[in-house]
Structure 1
Amino acid sequence: MGLTAADIVALPILKSAQVKAGGDLLDKKQIEWISVIEMPVENFVRENEFVLTTGLGCHGDPQLLEQFVKDVIQSGASALGFATGRYVFDIPDDILKIAGDHDFIIIDIPWEVRFGDIMQMVLEEINEDKKSERQRTEEIRQELINDVLQNKGLQEIAEALYKHIRIPVVITDYTRLIRASKNVGNNILLKFKNNEKKTAAPEESSNVTYMEHPLYPHIEEYEVGGEKWYQILIATNHRKQGFLWFKLEKEESLTWFVMNVLEHALTACALYFLKENAIEMTEIKLKDNFILQLAKQQHADQQHLNSKAELLGYDLSLTYICIAGEIRLKEETSLVPKLKKDNPPTSSLQSLNYYIQKEITNAGKLIGRKTMATFDEGEVIVYLETDHHLHTETANQFLDTIERRLNELLTEVELTWGIAASKNANGGFYESYQEAKTALEIGKQQAGTGERTFFKDTRINRMLMAISGEEAIRNIVKDTIQPLIDYDRKRQTDLIHTFMTYNKYKGNVSQTARALNLHRQSLLYRLRNIESLTQLSLVNSDDIFLLELSIRLWTLRKIE
């Protein structure tokens, strides 16, 4: 495609002209413009230009004429036409030899043929050729876009690209995963797969500076398997989606037509990635909404629920445990700024979710269990397939796998977990989530962050929570521990923690002092303070039970 020197020579206006040098190049040399020039050449001639001259500026000086021809060749012009008969009667053999050495075309044009007529006819041909190219590129653009709209993939885009411009093509996503290729050897594809590429050396870089196309500055050159490949970024809305790679047999192949076809291919690829992302995001959103409904809404129509789950790729007939997790960033963490570096301000939690979701999926595959997971305002909800008798083992194996990986990737993150088993034959997803959520809240109150709490291990705490709402109980709790609360708040001490540790070690002063990192006498002083403030004796089992019960109730409900 494109106008060649052969097309120009075949014009009626040049019927009497003779090709003196480069006759075998007529079909290969592109003609994109025509001009008339005398000495000096300087930068007035561009590449792929058909230059006309009378030789007037050389004043009959053979050496000057020779230099003039060299300058025209150096400029990248495709052909030089001499008007012979007045200033140049015969084109010197030295000039023809220079042209032969440089694969350059020289045409002898009789003086009688007017340059104006030549230019008019050549420009008409150039304009017609450009019009034809523009029409063809528009047809190609429509073909590529239709491929995407008709649910064809990147492979069809690569094949259409090769069909029209006949150059090898590779399309990858932004992670360098090969998504499509055409006319590329397996050895080169393997190099792409392993990301074995290096930036082309400066001396090997392209010198095709004539290309006045907006896409040209964005082309990067690499060496892949000893071959020079060109890369163009595929982007949508400032988001990097992938790369379009192509290889040229020769740099001259990067014509205006090829550049426009590549540009349209980029648009088609970007549209495909947008469509793919939209489908993926829609699927993720549908799955998220479905799992949230499972967890937070009671469902009567189990058959409808099973049908919806099947459409999303879930099997609700399996036995699942529910795991509720809370994402927390450790104090003075640098994670949020790190995640925000290349993302919008709202993306930090989304980035966390991405890594955690990825590890949930990987952990499920590693232990051979199906998972259903979603996120809701900093909370992770996971339904994990299990066997009826292996709830605890499966949950611990699963969470061990996740935490081991997350501790390597996101050291600034803490996850606290609450775990509950499935409740009935219909799945009991709502009930198990409520229990997992309760276990999570109790675990945060009792054990703090970064721990796991199983609902089956919270019976005493749940019983305490059930009775803590009674007004009489609340009053007893308040009367019992309010002096300790006020003292700790005023003196910045922790008598409540001191008592619970003392009670944990069954009144052993030495073990308690070591656990609290206190001197024995300091501990005894604190214990006397506790007795004085509460009017209870720490050697009386009923008083100890009352104080422990009050502290547990206060810890669960923060009763004051």
Structure 2
Amino acid sequence: MPPVTVQDVVRLALPEGVVVAAGSAGLSHQVSWVATPRATPPVFTNLRGGEFVLVATSALHALDERLTLANLAERLAQVPIAAIAVQGDIPDQARATAETLRLPLLHLPDASDIREVEREVQRLISDYDAQIERRAAQLGHVLTQRSLAGAGVNGLLDTLAERTGRSLAFYSPTGEVRALRARGPARVALQTLQPRGTGATTHLGQQIWVQQIGQIASGDAAGRNFGYLALCGDTLDDWDRLAAHQGASALALELAKEQAVLAAEERLRGDFVQAVLVGAAADDKTLVQRGRELGYDLRQPHVALLCGVANGDDRAIARLAGALSAALSALGVAAPLMRRIDDVLCYIPAVSRGRRAHEIADLLHARLTDDIPGVLVAIGREAPALTHWSRSLREAEQALLIGRELLGNGRVLDFGDLGVYRLLLLLRESPELWEFYRTTLATLVDYDRDQHGELLKTLEAFFDHNGNLARTAEALHIHRNTLLYRLTRIKEISGRDPDVAEDRLALWLALKAHRVLKTISEPVT
């Protein structure tokens, strides 16, 4: 059994709320036993050194009015004892004396039961391992009660930090810091740590124990990995590891509960959005009232916003829905949200807190990109009434469908920015558009595919630079003569001359149609 120190007694035997009033330099003193004052003088007898003294100031005054806490500290320090734990007021003189003697002076809460404290210290000294287990069970009970009382994740972390006296951090499953209770070197170490599993590690000179919250396997309550909990200090022991385990268990239950609530709320919001999309005009008043009950003001215009990820499976879409919900909350935007098979849909107010929909979409995109690289965000045009929500959704879907290719995924894909593509989208399944494409550009597409050529790229650059040969050649990093040769080949293969206004317009429009038609595999006949 390891030697018991005053610090161990403070962490593993004393009640919550104990304060080290003075003499913190002596917290490493070893404790041999616990001693309490006698009912009659002399107050203490048979002290052999290393005792942990428990005393109430009222008992001292009852024994001898001349006996002060400072005098008692001076006498007991000669033995020497390990520490004094006091219930009652501690005068400044006693604090100064204890500090000088390097004798820990601990202030017990007024509601403490001295006899119960004595038994706890005795248990720790006589059976260290059993007391640690018992203390860990007590910590687990306290955390469970706090969770049931609605303390939430932050409340549980506060309790854990208070009970362990350690710096700690809570991380997401991917290792991002979600909450931190630390200062100094421990804070820096925890901020830069990237946990990957349960175990001990040393980082920036700090000892750290990482405990996974929940499990990826289906063994825990939710069958999910909720993230990681890390305790940090100069030295860690078995108590820290047990405390981390209890903390992780409590956090897993709390996070599972929160996710269950969020899932229920998400289903409710999704059902509401679906009801709006399929509702009849006669139901508008009912839907507005229902929206008000959910915290949405549906009397003002809204804009459909879609979020997607490339090759998103169910887990990716679920994560995206959670991230979008969190981002909306952080921005203070009340928006009904619905998870779909391949993306997440929400309707943001046209104006919220003085910000217009596109600005809100930009802020959401920035927040989501930090959490989910490669996320796509698209918006439709403003829907002035509920009956226009479906139209705004179709526009957002179209913007998401081709906007990434046209505009790139580094920005919000806005249907209003698609220009001529909005017309081509309406015609993309019409035989007339396919026939126009075949007679204008299809031969160039086939040539490039078969010959690994760059005629389409050349034609696009030519139009991007308004027919300026020098700037087009520079953009393509080719000689002017090479550009002229390619333009001649375009004329020969397509039968359209870029120097003729009508042919130039046809080629330009066909290039736009080419991008749109790539979104479907076969023409409609």
TM-score by length of 2: 0.51
Given the superposition, is the C-alpha separation of residues 495 and 298 from structure 1 closer, same or farther in structure 2, using an over 3 Å criterion? farther
1:478 Cα deviation (Å)?
0.7
Q: Is the 8 A contact 1:481 1:534 kept in 2?
A: yes
Alpha-carbon distance in 2 for matches of 1:309, 1:180: 39
Q: Is the 8 A contact 2:365 2:377 kept in 1?
A: no
Single out whichever of 447-456 and 525-534 deviates more from structure 2: 447-456
1:349 Cα deviation (Å)?
4.4
1:348 Cα deviation (Å)?
4.3
Match of 1:420 in 2: 381
Alpha-carbon distance in 1 for matches of 2:422, 2:149: 61
Q: Is the 8 A contact 1:322 1:429 kept in 2?
A: yes
Q: 1:502 and 2:462 equivalent?
A: yes
Alpha-carbon distance in 1 for matches of 2:147, 2:430: 69
Alpha-carbon distance in 2 for matches of 1:281, 1:531: 59
Of the three residues 342, 350, 355, the one matched with 2:323 is 355
Alpha-carbon distance in 2 for matches of 1:556, 1:289: 32
Specify the SS of the correspondent of 1:328. Answer: coil
Match of 1:312 in 2: 294
Amino acid at match of 1:173: V
Of the three residues 505, 514, 518, the one matched with 1:554 is 514
Specify the SS of the correspondent of 1:506. Answer: coil
1:446 Cα deviation (Å)?
2.9
1:271 Cα deviation (Å)?
6.6
Alpha-carbon distance in 2 for matches of 1:547, 1:191: 63
1:83-137 Cα distance to aligned partner (Å, 9 max, x none): xxxxxxxxxxxxxx9999999xxxxxxxxxxxxxxxxxxxxxxxxxxxxxxxxxx
Matches within 5 A, 1:57-76: none
Given the superposition, is the C-alpha separation of residues 155 and 525 from structure 1 closer, same or farther in structure 2, using an over 3 Å criterion? closer
Alpha-carbon distance in 2 for matches of 1:483, 1:426: 46
Alpha-carbon distance in 2 for matches of 1:290, 1:537: 55
Q: 1:398 and 2:360 equivalent?
A: yes
Q: Is the 8 A contact 1:361 1:371 kept in 2?
A: no
Q: 1:173 and 2:134 equivalent?
A: no
Alpha-carbon distance in 2 for matches of 1:554, 1:232: 54
Given the superposition, is the C-alpha separation of residues 306 and 487 from structure 1 closer, same or farther in structure 2, using an over 3 Å criterion? same
1:454 Cα deviation (Å)?
3.2
Given the superposition, is the C-alpha separation of residues 346 and 444 from structure 1 closer, same or farther in structure 2, using an over 3 Å criterion? closer
Given the superposition, is the C-alpha separation of residues 509 and 485 from structure 1 closer, same or farther in structure 2, using an over 3 Å criterion? same
Alpha-carbon distance in 2 for matches of 1:177, 1:102: 34
Match of 2:262 in 1: 280
Match of 1:438 in 2: 398
1:175 Cα deviation (Å)?
8.4
Q: Is the 8 A contact 2:266 2:338 kept in 1?
A: no
Which consecutive residues of structure 2, in runs of 5 or more, have no partner in the other structure? Answer: 1-31, 34-44, 52-137, 170-178, 185-197, 201-209, 215-219, 232-238
> How many residues were matched structurally?
344
Alpha-carbon distance in 2 for matches of 1:472, 1:441: 22
Given the superposition, is the C-alpha separation of residues 189 and 285 from structure 1 closer, same or farther in structure 2, using an over 3 Å criterion? farther
Match of 1:154 in 2: 146
Mark the structure with the bigger radius of gyration.
1
Of the three residues 372, 375, 378, the one matched with 2:336 is 372
Match of 1:35 in 2: none
Q: Is the 8 A contact 2:213 2:248 kept in 1?
A: yes
Q: Is the 8 A contact 2:303 2:348 kept in 1?
A: yes
Q: Is the 8 A contact 1:419 1:452 kept in 2?
A: no
Q: Is the 8 A contact 1:445 1:556 kept in 2?
A: no
Match of 1:533 in 2: 493
1:175-198 Cα distance to aligned partner (Å, 9 max, x none): 8544799xx89xx99999972499
Match of 2:65 in 1: none
Given the superposition, is the C-alpha separation of residues 313 and 414 from structure 1 closer, same or farther in structure 2, using an over 3 Å criterion? closer
Single out whichever of 525-534 and 493-502 deviates more from structure 2: 493-502
Alpha-carbon distance in 1 for matches of 2:314, 2:290: 31
Given the superposition, is the C-alpha separation of residues 307 and 190 from structure 1 closer, same or farther in structure 2, using an over 3 Å criterion? farther
Given the superposition, is the C-alpha separation of residues 436 and 232 from structure 1 closer, same or farther in structure 2, using an over 3 Å criterion? closer
Q: Is the 8 A contact 2:304 2:392 kept in 1?
A: yes
Match of 1:50 in 2: none
Q: Is the 8 A contact 1:154 1:269 kept in 2?
A: no
Match of 1:478 in 2: 438
Single out whichever of 461-470 and 307-316 deviates more from structure 2: 461-470
Match of 2:349 in 1: 385
Q: Is the 8 A contact 2:378 2:415 kept in 1?
A: no
1:556 Cα deviation (Å)?
1.4
Q: Is the 8 A contact 2:444 2:490 kept in 1?
A: yes
Amino acid at match of 2:346: V
Given the superposition, is the C-alpha separation of residues 467 and 397 from structure 1 closer, same or farther in structure 2, using an over 3 Å criterion? closer
1:116-162 Cα distance to aligned partner (Å, 9 max, x none): xxxxxxxxxxxxxxxxxxxxxxxxx9xx9xxx9xxxx737769xxxx
1:38-81 Cα distance to aligned partner (Å, 9 max, x none): xxxxxxxxxxxxxxxxxxxxxxxxxxxxxxxxxxxxx99xxxxx
Specify the SS of the correspondent of 1:325. Answer: strand
Amino acid at match of 1:195: R
Amino acid at match of 2:318: Q
Alpha-carbon distance in 1 for matches of 2:422, 2:254: 53
1:270 Cα deviation (Å)?
7.5
How large is the RMSD of aligned CA atoms in angstroms?
Answer: 5.3
Q: Is the 8 A contact 2:381 2:415 kept in 1?
A: yes
1:324-376 Cα distance to aligned partner (Å, 9 max, x none): 233238xxxxxx9xxxxxxxx964443344334323332x33xxx43333432
Match of 1:84 in 2: none
Given the superposition, is the C-alpha separation of residues 234 and 457 from structure 1 closer, same or farther in structure 2, using an over 3 Å criterion? closer
Given the superposition, is the C-alpha separation of residues 402 and 157 from structure 1 closer, same or farther in structure 2, using an over 3 Å criterion? closer
Alpha-carbon distance in 2 for matches of 1:433, 1:522: 46
Alpha-carbon distance in 2 for matches of 1:493, 1:232: 56
Given the superposition, is the C-alpha separation of residues 475 and 404 from structure 1 closer, same or farther in structure 2, using an over 3 Å criterion? closer
Alpha-carbon distance in 2 for matches of 1:375, 1:298: 19
Of the three residues 278, 283, 286, the one matched with 1:297 is 278
Alpha-carbon distance in 2 for matches of 1:469, 1:157: 58
Q: 1:487 and 2:468 equivalent?
A: no
Specify the SS of the correspondent of 2:328. Answer: helix
1:477 Cα deviation (Å)?
2.1
Match of 1:543 in 2: 503
Specify the SS of the correspondent of 2:488. Answer: helix
TM-score by length of 1: 0.49
Amino acid at match of 2:357: A
Alpha-carbon distance in 2 for matches of 1:457, 1:500: 19
Q: Which aligned runs of 4 or more in structure 1 are off by greater than 6 angstroms?
A: 97-103, 155-158, 188-194, 231-235, 240-243, 265-273
Q: Is the 8 A contact 1:174 1:240 kept in 2?
A: no
Alpha-carbon distance in 2 for matches of 1:495, 1:269: 60
Given the superposition, is the C-alpha separation of residues 348 and 325 from structure 1 closer, same or farther in structure 2, using an over 3 Å criterion? closer
Specify the SS of the correspondent of 2:181. Answer: coil
1:442 Cα deviation (Å)?
3.9
1:284-312 Cα distance to aligned partner (Å, 9 max, x none): 22223323554x53544123322332333
Q: Is the 8 A contact 1:531 1:537 kept in 2?
A: yes
Alpha-carbon distance in 1 for matches of 2:249, 2:369: 40
Alpha-carbon distance in 1 for matches of 2:503, 2:491: 10
Q: Is the 8 A contact 1:439 1:453 kept in 2?
A: yes
1:15-34 Cα distance to aligned partner (Å, 9 max, x none): xxxxxxxxxxxxxxxxxxxx
